[in-house]
Copies of this chain bind each other. A is one copy, B any other.
Amino acid sequence: MTLRPIALAIAAVACSSAFAQQSTVTVFGILDAGVQRLENGSQARWLQSIDGLRTSRLGFRGTEDLGGGLSASFHLEGALSPDDGNAAGMNWRRRSTVSLASSTLGELRLGRDYTPTFWNYSVFSPFGTNGVGSSGNLIYGFGGKSSTAPTIVRSDNSVGYFLPKGLGGVYGQAMVALGEGAPTGKFHGVRLGFASGPVDVAVAASDTVNNAAGDKFNNFNLGGSYDFGVVKLMGIYSVSMQTTAKQTTTLLGFTMPIGAGELRASWIHADKANSPDDATQLAVGYVYWLSKRTALYTSAAQIKNKAAATFVIPGGAPLSAGQSSTGVEMGVSHSF
């Protein structure tokens, strides 16, 4: 992405072989900002939006070759909010991990990291979990409303294991997070997938101790994509449960290369069990890549809430039960 100290070191070495053992830190990041119009019910609001295409971030990472196929690595990454300069303070809560990896045995990873059940929501959604068309608008919700269910994205105190590469397209990971004596947060999760040629499919499941009574938040999801070249189809099926509450969410979408850009569209439906509080989100957008690092984008999305559902595109005016939430945005996304 950035600095490419490895490449620089190689260049240096090309000049002088005395500099062969440079260690490396890569400074990387993304700034993504734009302008957004959100309309909840009849109340419209203009905003400076961020993260419409990719989440703004700053990070540091590096890998050390320990020889014999072994390596140690670290990854620090925190969210940026260019609209207010991180008024709430900088942290590294997107990811803070240290790893030991073997090319044949896989990777052991410690720290704060994404849960195995997160990835399908991002990888198999045309809009990922970003912008007005984010799959998270519906999938992160529960009980007929938008909210971030615990560990649906990341977990503190985790010990993770990742399968090595070269298993004929099979990939997978497992994670355990310790409760540390707290009433909530104890987590188990696993993800298994297969990617080969145009096909990519994965299934994931997790449970999290979610209250003092020990009730568990259960999350199961299945995602897949097939790349026909002219169009890439995607789908997600997700179930979230805690005791008697249950939400089933289904996504269908596609991306279609057009010139130096890409058309994106998705349909998502959230079904609250034994309740009419359901919602449907439709989203369409276009991304134009000025370079590998920089893109212009525009997206539009609408959530239609049924009955008393309050799913919402975040950031706008307060939404009353059953109202629609509509958003349009355009922005620039630049990585380094």
Contact = CB atoms under 8 A, between A and B. Distances in A.
Interface of A: 1-5, 7-16, 18-19, 22-25, 27-29, 31-35, 45-48, 58, 60, 62, 64, 66, 70, 72-74, 76, 78, 80-98, 100, 110-112, 156-159, 177-181, 290-291, 293-294, 316-317, 331-332, 334, 336
B35 A112 contact: no
Given A85-B95, A317-B181, A332-B100, A8 B22 contact: yes
A5 to B, nearest CB: 6
A274 to B, nearest CB: 36
A48 B98 contact: no
14 contacts: A1-B23, A2-B25, A7-B19, A27-B60, A48-B111, A58-B60, A66-B294, A70-B290, A72-B294, A82-B92, A82-B97, A83-B112, A86-B96, A100-B294
Contacts of A317: 181
A60 to B, nearest CB: 7
Contact of A82 (B19, B82, B110): B110
A38 to B, nearest CB: 9
A214 B336 CA distance: 40
Q: Which 10 A-B pairs have the closest CB atoms?
A: A11-B12, A85-B93, A82-B111, A89-B89, A31-B98, A48-B157, A85-B112, A33-B110, A85-B96, A82-B96
Contacts of A336: 23-25, 62, 64, 74
Given A4-B23, A19-B8, A48 B110 contact: yes
